[in-house]
Structure 1
Amino acid sequence: MRIDIMTLFPEMIEAVMRESIIGRAQDKGLVEVRATNIRDYALDKHRKADDAPYGGGRGQVMLAEPLYLCHQALCGGEKVHTVFLSAQGKPFDQQKARDLLAKERFILVCGHYEGIDQRFIDECVDEEISIGDFVLTGGEIPAMAVADAVCRMVPGVLPDEDAFTAESHWDGLLEHPHYTRPENWRGRAVPEVLLSGHHLNIESWRREMSLRRTKADRPDLFAQFTPADKRDRKLLDKIEQPDG
C-alpha cells in the first residue's frame, strides 16, 4: 500500500505517520506514506503556492499550477486515484476506507487557507472526502486520519484481521465496552461474565453490549442494522422488551 500526501507542511505528516503502529509498518515495508511539499513545484524563487482570490474576498487560494506539477510528478504518467480532503466532500467512513484499501495506491491532496483553485480539482481530483461537518485550518489532519484508517487494514500491520473487523463500524455497530485489571476500580466492578472463562457467554454478552450501545448512542446506525443470524435476532428481541 502506497499513499502520497500533497501538502504545504510535510514535516507535520512525517512527524505523525512515522510513529507507533503505522511507523513500524513503514519500517517493515508493509505500507508507504510519502509527504510531498507542494512548494517544491512553485514557479518562482519565493516558492509561492497561493494568491488572492478572483472576485475579491478574504484569504488566499492555493495556485493550480504548483498543485498540478506536484500531482503529475507523483503520478509519473500513470492514472492514480486522487482524493481532495474538503469540507464539501462526502463523509468518510469505514466503507470508504475499505474502498481506498482496494486501490493499493492513491494520492491525498491537502488544501490550506481558503481552499484550492477549482480548476485543479476539475482536472485531477477523482473524489472529495470530508471527515466531518466542521472546518479545520488545513487538510493535513484529515489526510492523516484517512491514511491511518486505511493502513491499519493492510495485512500484517495489526496482529490479525480480528484486530479491526471486531471494532466499531466494521459491521455497522459500535464496539462493546472493554475492561482490564484491577477487577474492582473505585467501587466499579468488571462484569462477572468477563471473569467466567465461558467464551460463548462472553461473546454473546459483547454482541449484546454492542447492540445496546449502538441503539443508545447512534440510533441512526441502529436503524440501518440488519441481523446477521438467529443470535442477533434473539438479542434484538431481548433489547426491545420493556424490561430488556
Structure 2
Amino acid sequence: MLLIDRDVAGAQEFVKETISDLLQNKVDMSNLVITKALTKESYDAKQAHVELAARMKKRDAGSAPALGDRVAYVIVKGAGGSKNYEKSEDPIYVLENNIPIDTKYYLDNQLAKPLGRIFEPILGEKKAQSLLTGEHTRSISVAAPTMGGLMKFAKKTQTCMGCKKPLVSTSEKEGAVCENCRPRFGELYQKTLSRVSDLEVRFARLWTQCQRCQGSVHNNVICSSRDCPIFYMRMKAKKDVEDAGKELVRFDNDVAAW
C-alpha cells in the first residue's frame, strides 16, 4: 500500500483494523505462532520455548518436543508480573482449553517496532505512535478459559441462543432457548444450522488442502507439522465444528422436551 499504491491513508486504516482485530481475538492463531529450535535443554537465561518443552514433558512425555525439534508456542495471558517465558504455551493446548492469548504482548513486542520503522519517516514519530493508541484499541475481547485458576470453582450455565439470558429453570437449562424466545425457535435453529454448515465447509476445504499436500485425496490426514499455518487453521476449524455441533444438540433437547 505504501510502496506500490502510495496510499498512506489506506495503509494507516489497514494497520488500525489489524490491531483492532488482534485485540478482539479475531486474528487466526496461525499468525501468532512463534517457533524456535530446541538445541539444548538449558540456556544462561530462561527461554520461552525451553520452559514450554519442560512443561509439555511433564504433561505427556511421549508427545513433548525432543532436542533438535522446533517448538511452536504462543504467548498467553498470565498472572500480573509473569515473565514471557512463563506465559508460553502449546497452540493446540490453547485451542483445546480456550486459553486467552496475551494480545497486548503481540502488539507491544511484535508490531510496535516494525510499524514505527515503517511509518515514522512518513508520518513523523508522534503520528506513527498514534497508530498504537486511540479508539481502535479500546475494544478488547478475552476468551473465557475452560480450565485452571478460578475456573475450577466456576459453574457453567447455558445461555439462551436468542437473548443470551442464563437458562436456570429445569425445563430450560438443557435446551437452546428461553420461554420468551421460543417463538423464534425455527429462526434460531436455521441460523445455527447455517453456521454449522459454513464451518463444516471450511474444515473440509482445509482437510482437502492437507490431503493434497500429502499427495493423496483418498487417505486420512496424518500431518502434524507445527510449522505449517494450515495445521493450526485445520485444528481450529475442527474444534469450531465440534462446538457448533453441541449447540445443535441443545435444539434437539428442546424438541425432545416439548
TM tier relative to shorter chain? under 0.3
TM-score (norm 1): 0.22
User: TM-score, length-normalised on structure 2?
Assistant: 0.21
Larger relative strand fraction: 1
